[in-house]
Chains A and B, each alone.
Chain A
Amino acid sequence: MTGILLAMSYTPHVDYAFQSVERIMRDVNSGWLLRYMHANGASFFFIVVYIHIFRGLFYGSYKSPREVLWWLGVIIMILMMATAFMGYVLPWGQMSFWGATVITNLFSAIPVIGDYIVTLLWGGFSVDNPTLNRFFALHYLLPFVLVGVVVLHIWALHIPGSNNPLGINATAKDKIPFHPYYTAKDAFGLGVFLLAYFTVVFWFPNAMGHTDNYIPANPLSTPAHIVPEWYFLPFYAILRSIDDKLTGVILMFGSLLILFVIPWLDTSRVRSATFRPIFKVLFWVFLADCVMLTWCGAQLAEGLPLLLSRIGTFWYFFHFLVLMPVVGWIETPRPLPTSISTPVVAKPAE
C-alpha cells in the first residue's frame, strides 16, 4: 500500500531518483511517513519471517506431511530477499548503487553464461539507468508474485493443518475454531508487533538503514565499507568467508537452497525439539551461529571477523549436512505424549 503511493511520486531515473525520494520526504503530504513505514516495514517483515523460520526449525514443521508448506515458505523468503534488494536500490544512494554492483556481479562468477547474465541484469555494461528501471519494474511486480505464493503457502497449510509445539498429530478434540480463539490471540500479537514497529518508524526511522545511502550514488567513489541491509548480513558473511568468488557464491546460494532439502536431511521422526535433547541444544547453537554470522557480515572481512565467519559458515553447513542426519539416528527422543490434551490436563491448572 505504501509502495503504490510512493511510486506515484518516485522517478526511476539515475539523475532524479535520489532527488525524487527527497521530494517525497519533504514536499509530499505525509511522504516521510510513507517512506519510513515502507523501508522499516521491509525490515520488520524480515524480523517476523526469520522468527517464523526458526520456530519451524525448532518444532520440525518442515517434516512430513508438511514438506510442500516448507518449500513454499523458502520460496517466499527468497522472493522477499529479491524484492527487498531491488527496493533498496531505488533511492539511488551510495549503498544502493554499490550494493547493486556487488550483488549483480556475483552472477559473473557462474562459468560460461555468468557475464551474459550480468549484462542482462544491468541492461548494459555497468549498473546504470536501465538497471534502475528494470529493478523498479521488478520491485513493483515481485510483491504480487509474493502474495500469490503466500496464498499457496496458506493453502498448503490447510491440507495437513498446523503443526504444534508437541509435534504430534492433533485429534479433533484438541482443536478449537480459528475464530474467535486465534483471531483474538493474533490481535494481541499484532498489537505487540505494531508497538515495536511504530517505535522504530517514529523515533528511529534510520536506525536500520546505512548513513551512506543519504549520499547520492557516485559511480566514481566507492564507499570504504559496502554493507548490505541487516537481513542479508549472515549470507554476506558466508559469501565473504571464502577467497574464491565462485565458491563463495555457491556457498551463499547454497545456504538458502539447502533449506529445500532439510525434510530429507533430518532423519528423526520426532518433529518437536522439545522431545529431542541433543537436537534441542544444536538448535540453539545454530541460532547463535546465525547471529554471529550476522555480526561478521557487518565487519570488514579480515582478522577475527573473517575467522569467525569461516567457522560460522562451516558450522552452518555442518549443522544441516552432518548433524541433522546423524543426530536423528543416534538420539533417543523422550517419550511423546499420546495426545495434545494429555500434558495440559495432567498439570495443575494455572
Chain B
Amino acid sequence: MRIVLFAAFATLLIGFAPVEVKAADGNVELTNQEWSFDGVFGRFDRQQLQRGFQVYREVCSSCHGLDYIAFRNLEAIGYSEDQTKVLASEYIIEECCDDQGDIFDRPAIPADYMPNPYPNDQFARASNNGALPPDLSLMSKARHGGPDYVYSLINGYEEPSAEVEAEMMDGMYYNVAFEGNQIAMAQQLFDDLLEYSDGTPATAEQMATDVAAFLHWAAEPKLEIRKQTGVRVLLFTFVFTVLAYFLKRRIWADIEH
C-alpha cells in the first residue's frame, strides 16, 4: 500500500509543480487566466479561437509571421473548407517561377502557409527600428507561462515611474510582463480597435485573451486529441494496475514475506 501512496504522491508532485508560473527574473509579472483548454478535459473554445485569429489577422500579422500554420489548419478552429478557401484567397503568394523563369503572384490556396509580412529578417529589422518581430507559431510554448505570458505581455503596458523612464532606451516601451521591462513593440490593442464578426465587444482585454488562446492553439494544435487520448490511456492503465495489484497479492499469498 505504501508504494501506491508514494506513487500517487510522486505523480502529484511531478504533475503540479510546473503549474506555478515561475517569474524568470523577479521583475516579470504575469496575470494568470482561466483557459477553456486548461485541466484534464480541457478543450478549445472555437468561437474564441476565431476571434483570436481575427485579432491576429487584423493586428499582429502586420509585423509577426505565423510560419507553421497553413490555411488548411484553420478548419480545426471551426471554419468550413469553403471558408478557408475564401480566407486563403485574400492573400497573395509570390511563386517561383512561371515558364519564363519569372516570379509571379497568385492567390493563396488552403495548402499554402501563412505568408510572412517580411521578405527576410534584415528587412523586418529595418522596418522595426532594429528589432525583429518573432514568429508567433510557437510563442505560447516558447515562453514561461505560455498563454498567460502572451496575455500578460499584450496587456502589460504601463506608465513607468520617472526614474525608470529616465533609464529607458530610445524607442523602447515599458512592459511589466517582459523580461527587463523594455520591449521594442508598442502597445497594439486598444478598446474597439476592431469589430468582432460575432458581435463580442472588442475590449483590449477581450482581444488579448482571444489572441492568446488562438496562439496557444497555433503552438499546440493537438491539445484536444492529446487530452482525450490521455483520458482513455490512463483509464486503461489504471484498470490494468488495479488488476495487477490484486493478482500480485493473490500469487504472493502463499509466501511468507
Contact = CB atoms under 8 A, between A and B. Distances in A.
B142 A199 contact: no
A215 B248 contact: no
Contact of A192 (B4, B227, B231): B4
B193 interface: no
Nearest to A25: B222
Contact of B241 (A26, A191, A199, A205): A191
A216 to B, nearest CB: 8
A1 interface: no
A221 B182 CA distance: 18
A203 to B, nearest CB: 6
A201 B68 CA distance: 23
A26 B241 CA distance: 32
Contact of A184 (B231, B240, B244): B244
Interface of B: 3-4, 7, 10-11, 14-15, 17-18, 24, 40, 68, 73, 134, 137-138, 141-144, 179, 219, 221-222, 226-227, 229-231, 233-234, 237-238, 240-242, 244-245, 247-248, 251-252, 255-257
A8 interface: no
Interface in A197-239: 198-207, 211-212, 214-215, 224-225
A335 interface: no
Interface string A62-97: 000000000000000000000000000000000000
B237 A26 contact: no
A184 B252 contact: yes
A52 interface: no
B77 to A, nearest CB: 14
A303 interface: no
A22 interface: yes
A185 B142 CA distance: 41
A344 interface: yes
Given A185-B248, A202-B234, A207-B17, 16 more contacts: A26-B222, A184-B251, A187-B248, A188-B248, A191-B241, A194-B241, A196-B14, A198-B233, A198-B237, A199-B230, A211-B141, A211-B142, A214-B142, A215-B142, A224-B179, A345-B256
Given A195-B238, A214-B141, A181 B255 contact: yes
A180 interface: yes
Given A199-B234, A202-B233, A32 B222 contact: yes
A51 to B, nearest CB: 10
A341 interface: yes
B7 A201 contact: no
Contact of B221 (A26, A180, A199, A205): A26
Contacts of B230: 198-199, 201-203
Nearest to A212: B142
Interface of A: 19, 22, 25-26, 32-33, 36, 176, 180-181, 184-185, 187-188, 190-192, 194-196, 198-207, 211-212, 214-215, 224-225, 341, 344-345, 349
Contacts of A345: 256
B174 to A, nearest CB: 19
Contact of B7 (A19, A26, A192): A192
Contacts of B219: 214
Contacts of B255: 176, 181
A203 B221 CA distance: 14
A202 B251 contact: no
Nearest to B223: A32
Given A26-B68, A188-B244, A188-B248, A198 B142 contact: no
A336 to B, nearest CB: 19
A195 B239 CA distance: 10
A33 B226 contact: yes
A278 B4 CA distance: 29
A323 to B, nearest CB: 28
A203 B252 contact: no
Contacts of A32: 222, 226
A196 B143 contact: no
